[in-house]
Chains A and B, each alone.
Chain A
Amino acid sequence: MAKFLLRRLASSIVLVAIAASLAYVLAAASLSPRSNFEGRNPPPPAAVVERELEARNLNDRTPIIERYGAWATGLVRLDFGESWDGTSVNAEMARRIGVSLRLLIIATILGSVLGVLVGAWGAVRQHRFSDHAITFASFVILSTPVFVLAVLLEIVAVGVNDATGVSVFEYTGEFTPGLEGGFWTLAVDRLQHLVLPTLTLVLAQIAIFSRYQRNAMLDVLGSDFVRTAQAKGLRRRTALLKHALRTALIPSATFFAYNFGLLLIGATFIETIFGWHGMGEWFIESVRRNDVNAVAAVSCFAAVLVLFAGLLSDLAYAVLDPRIRVGA
């Protein structure tokens, strides 16, 4: 078991390295930090531009392989280099990473747990009203782009705020700047800011997970072993939870990894819409500002997250399904 996970971890590290390298090369080849200087008024002297770019390993006249070499050497020491304006990428990342992770982790946990429950419920109530309602709602959410969903939720929030006369929901930034108060005041303020973006992501996650879980659950509902559990004297509900749902979780573990990529994209939009200064927002800004090192850093972050999710789902699979443990 441990051997299996170690092997997976090793291959994940190799994959992260490959993904990050490809992202760097792509960013370095297509973005042009030089244009940032050229667009200035008055234009800085050529030698200064050259020196500035050289200092940050951004000079497009240096062969890309050399730039990659310098970047990779830094990366081994976990140094992502500098932005085109000389600020440290590491420092910026440190500021933003927590913001994104908070959103992603909460959305992943809530989304997958609620999605699994909603899906299992739908399967048990197959062809009844609640199943149809869940199916309909899921398809509506699935076919709505995240940014539309976010805006719709904002509109609802504004309506609620207006109706109650209090700002229940906040939809700009992750906290109110300059707010003074004790721990609870600040915590409530953060929570008010957290609800809408998280809800947007979670809704989409529930919609996807519930569809998937419903099918997995339907596959096992008619199983002989569920009938055996009832024949032993378990109530139907216990048999469904302990035997059917437990077995139907196995395919969902695989799904978890694939779905994570989708979640990252959604989070990028949401950070931008709700004005959260997270990794997603940074990525979009960096592309706009031709900031090669920052783009590479965010790509690296995404790669690590996706592969970490893959590792988690391998682990979950091994824990859930004894049949694969033997061969591992």
Chain B
Amino acid sequence: MTPAADPLVAVRGLSVTFPDRTGDVRAVRDVDYDLARGEVLGIVGESGSGKSAAALAVMGLLPAGARVEGSVRLDGEELIGLEDRALSRLRGRRIAMVFQDPLSALTPVYRIGQQVAEAVQAHNRLSRDEARSRAVELLELVGIAGARERAGAFPHELSGGMRQRVMIAMAIANDPDVLIADEPTTALDVTIQAQVLEVLRTAREATGAAMIVITHDLGVVAGFADRVAVMYAGRLVEQGGVDDVYERPRMPYTMGLLGSIPRVDESGRRPLVPIEGAPPSPAHLPPGCPFAPRCPLVFERCHEEEPALAAVGGRPQLAACHRAAEIEAGGLAPEEVYEVRSSAPAPGAERRNGRPQVLRTEDLVKHHPLLRGAVFKRQVGTVRAVDGISLTVGEGETLGLVGESGCGKTTALLEILELTRPQGGRVVVLGRDTAELDARERRALRREVQVVFQDPLASLDPRLPVSDVLAEPLRTHGVARERVEERVRELVRLVGLEHQHLSRYPQHFSGGQRQRIAIARALALEPKLVVLDEPVSALDVSIRAGVVNLLEELRERLGLSYLFVAHDLSVVRHVSDRVAVMYLGRLVEVGDVDRLYGGPAHPYTQALLSAIPVPDPRKERTRARILLPGDLPSPAEVPGGCRFHTRCPKFAALDAERRRRCLEEEPELRAVGPGQEAACHYAERLAVV
């Protein structure tokens, strides 16, 4: 173990089991770790790895049915088995917790000020007024502007980022010794995530608390944690200092995780390292090492005996792998452990010139009227969801469309998929103006434009077996019966599934396999253009890489064009040739992927890119973040002039004379260099990643 003389928290042999009629679900198995005073420990794992259950066990907040074994000591005091009364005295005062979803984690019927005050009063004899004013102080500390007034707001009146700040205010209300943050930024957009991480830093400085940060995002903890522990199938499989684990991972699973994430700071089409298969169900763990079925280094012993967490290489680093010593001795890198297929060279800018356009939009507009009144509706406003965007997708090209939630990217995509005359502007698909199509032509054109949605479980009919899911578009478009069956078999092979999968139903597949089915369905009619709406954001990290690689491969083999809509800029960098950045219904920057990521010119793009954490601890510690103030304004109240000026760091630094232009004149996209356009009056390229 880490030679911490007097750990603040010592966890030994912690196990959590959920009894179930079909067999016990062993969510957490034999977890050991220490947390020193003031230290930050990152616990990384995919969904179902048991990372949240382990944290809730420490807090004694697991549901009543859970069986908890082992020991958790806080300053030497045993917590497991304490009664509710004793535990409630510790919770919030010595150990506090920030939960993932700040909407459901706040009681909807109480004002936020009350909820924070309640946390204060739970451990202090304070009058109502004293608690209230302490609550306001706390809300100020976590950066809620106008805290006194905002304290009277209900949770539903706040944005996600604000709610998470309230959660943090509650957690630090009593100066805890330990702060556990369970996926504190997962539900948030990147710029808001950067704000919240900053607040967590402030909170830590204010309280001096030790922290446990639980996340699936290796980037989030890289710059934040001192030590990191990787969890898989309920166990810790690797543990050590951040630098050691990120630079010299010694457990193949950690290597796979690090290799499978696309990097926002790396150019070129480095193929991702996908980990085969999916994590095992905690109810049916394989014998031996639970990672053995997916491990490239597997040998006989792995199936027989589960490896213990043991020191490697004389560093304070532990890995649970029979072959850790070999990996250490050979200094193996992830690319050497995982077999990496070399991918075809990326189509460069030169190949794009003169290629026919598959899709073009000109000043595409979609406004929704805001109506009031029950019987007589009157318009009280306009939601300017898409407010004039022009973009093109060339043949064989991938255009990444990025922006935060609420920026209008999904609306834009649905408008394009309608294939009808848009509310304003033009949509041209394969040289055909959609406004001029008749019903038959439109139907014919639909074959050429297909879509893959974010959530494959919701977009696949649960009552249809896979064979019918895939055959449906073919039958709809009148493909001959014999041909349908043949085509379905082709499609299944194409996306890397097996024939025997055809008779199963979507819910019997893992998330990654389901998304493969959705992709196969989109490809059934051999389209030219595939619109991908957040195709990998619902998938676990280790599975994501496989789907991304599949999309790449299919594009090259079938000569597809993609319109790739996503909020994850790392994935977009990895798959796109060109990128368009959207803010409040407008494009603010468009450019070749390497130009745009290498030197974004619009302040919004710069802030977005700088907000993304990179899974590289050394780099992460030295990066300066451009923090955007506040939240995305409502598209019903678009600011005048440049619509970004309310949050723009550049605008804030301008003198009054130059500001006037931003306030009065809406900037158009204009070239800032070869293959890059930005809609900013004062655009300047700046390296941020």
Show the binding face of A for B, using Cβ within 8 Å.
Answer: 222-225, 227-236, 243, 246-247, 250, 320-323, 326
A323–B99 touching, CB < 8 Å? no
A231 to B110, CA, bound (A): 17
Pick the contact of A227 from B61, B90, B122 — CB < 8 Å? B61
B91–A230 touching, CB < 8 Å? yes
Residue of B nearest to A227 (CB): B61
A322 to B154, CA, bound (A): 7
A231–B91 touching, CB < 8 Å? yes
Q: In the A-B complex, list the 8 residue pairs whose CB atoms are closest, starting with the nearest.
A: A233-B92, A233-B122, A232-B119, A224-B105, A224-B104, A232-B92, A225-B107, A322-B154
Given A225-B108, A247-B107, CB of A236 within 8 Å of CB of B84: yes
- Beyond A232-B96, A233-B89, A233-B92, 6 additional contacts (C-beta under 8 Å) are A224-B99, A228-B170, A229-B118, A231-B92, A231-B171, A232-B122
B680 within 8 Å of A (CB atoms): no
B154–A233 touching, CB < 8 Å? no
Set of chain B residues within 8 Å of A323, measured between Cβ atoms: 108, 154, 156
How many residues from B make CB contacts under 8 Å with A? 36
13 example contacts (A-B, Cβ-Cβ < 8 A) are as follows A231-B99, A232-B119, A232-B122, A232-B173, A233-B119, A233-B123, A233-B174, A234-B118, A235-B85, A246-B107, A322-B108, A322-B109, A322-B111
> How near does chain B come to A100, taking the closest CB pair, in angstroms?
35
Given A230-B88, A232-B92, A232-B170, CB of A247 within 8 Å of CB of B105: no
> How near does chain A come to B657, taking the closest CB pair, in angstroms?
41
> How near does chain B come to A243, taking the closest CB pair, in angstroms?
5
B162 within 8 Å of A (CB atoms): no
Residue of A nearest to B123 (CB): A233
B177-216 Cβ-contact flags toward A at 8 Å (1 or 0) = 0000000000000000000000000000000000000000
Set of chain A residues within 8 Å of B92, measured between Cβ atoms: 231-233
Residue of A nearest to B56 (CB): A227
Set of chain A residues within 8 Å of B88, measured between Cβ atoms: 230, 233-236
> How near does chain A come to B377, taking the closest CB pair, in angstroms?
15
A262 to B122, CA, bound (A): 43
A247–B109 touching, CB < 8 Å? yes
A323 to B105, CA, bound (A): 16
> How near does chain B come to A254, taking the closest CB pair, in angstroms?
15
B146 within 8 Å of A (CB atoms): no
A233 to B111, CA, bound (A): 18
B99–A227 touching, CB < 8 Å? yes
> How near does chain A come to B302, taking the closest CB pair, in angstroms?
38
Residue of B nearest to A124 (CB): B64
Set of chain A residues within 8 Å of B373, measured between Cβ atoms: none
A225 to B106, CA, bound (A): 5
B516 within 8 Å of A (CB atoms): no
B167 within 8 Å of A (CB atoms): yes
B517 within 8 Å of A (CB atoms): no
Residue of B nearest to A225 (CB): B107
> How near does chain A come to B108, taking the closest CB pair, in angstroms?
6
A224 to B100, CA, bound (A): 9
Set of chain B residues within 8 Å of A222, measured between Cβ atoms: 63
> How near does chain A come to B493, taking the closest CB pair, in angstroms?
43
B543 within 8 Å of A (CB atoms): no
Q: Is chain A's binding surface mostly helix, strand, loop or mixed?
A: helix
Most buried by A among B104, B105, B109: B109
A323 to B92, CA, bound (A): 28
B104–A225 touching, CB < 8 Å? yes
Most buried by B among A222, A228, A231: A231
A236 to B171, CA, bound (A): 18
A231 to B97, CA, bound (A): 6
A232–B91 touching, CB < 8 Å? yes
Residue of B nearest to A250 (CB): B109
Pick the contact of B61 from A231, A250, A320, A322 — CB < 8 Å? A231
B59–A243 touching, CB < 8 Å? no
Given A233-B174, A236-B84, CB of A228 within 8 Å of CB of B91: no
B93 within 8 Å of A (CB atoms): yes
> How near does chain A come to B361, taking the closest CB pair, in angstroms?
35
B99–A232 touching, CB < 8 Å? no
> How near does chain A come to B669, taking the closest CB pair, in angstroms?
38
B556 within 8 Å of A (CB atoms): no
Residue of A nearest to B171 (CB): A231
B101 within 8 Å of A (CB atoms): yes
Set of chain A residues within 8 Å of B119, measured between Cβ atoms: 232-233
A246–B123 touching, CB < 8 Å? no
B61–A230 touching, CB < 8 Å? yes
Residue of A nearest to B97 (CB): A231
Set of chain B residues within 8 Å of A228, measured between Cβ atoms: 99, 105-107, 167, 170
A321 to B84, CA, bound (A): 30
A321 to B155, CA, bound (A): 12
> How near does chain B come to A44, taking the closest CB pair, in angstroms?
55
A232 to B95, CA, bound (A): 9
Set of chain B residues within 8 Å of A225, measured between Cβ atoms: 104-108
Given A231-B59, A233-B92, CB of A320 within 8 Å of CB of B109: yes
Set of chain A residues within 8 Å of B110, measured between Cβ atoms: 243
Residue of A nearest to B88 (CB): A235
Set of chain A residues within 8 Å of B173, measured between Cβ atoms: 232
Set of chain A residues within 8 Å of B156, measured between Cβ atoms: 322-323
Set of chain B residues within 8 Å of A321, measured between Cβ atoms: 108-109
Most buried by A among B61, B123, B156: B61
Set of chain B residues within 8 Å of A243, measured between Cβ atoms: 107, 110
A228 to B96, CA, bound (A): 10
Pick the contact of B96 from A224, A231, A235, A247 — CB < 8 Å? A231
A222 to B104, CA, bound (A): 11
A232–B84 touching, CB < 8 Å? no
B109–A232 touching, CB < 8 Å? no
A80 to B311, CA, bound (A): 93
A223–B104 touching, CB < 8 Å? yes
A231 to B63, CA, bound (A): 13
Set of chain A residues within 8 Å of B170, measured between Cβ atoms: 228, 232
> How near does chain A come to B87, taking the closest CB pair, in angstroms?
9
> How near does chain B come to A98, taking the closest CB pair, in angstroms?
37
Residue of B nearest to A326 (CB): B157
> How near does chain B come to A128, taking the closest CB pair, in angstroms?
10
> How near does chain B come to A195, taking the closest CB pair, in angstroms?
36
> How near does chain A come to B83, taking the closest CB pair, in angstroms?
10
Residue of A nearest to B100 (CB): A224
B91–A233 touching, CB < 8 Å? yes
> How near does chain B come to A313, taking the closest CB pair, in angstroms?
17
B362-382 Cβ-contact flags toward A at 8 Å (1 or 0) = 000000000000000000000
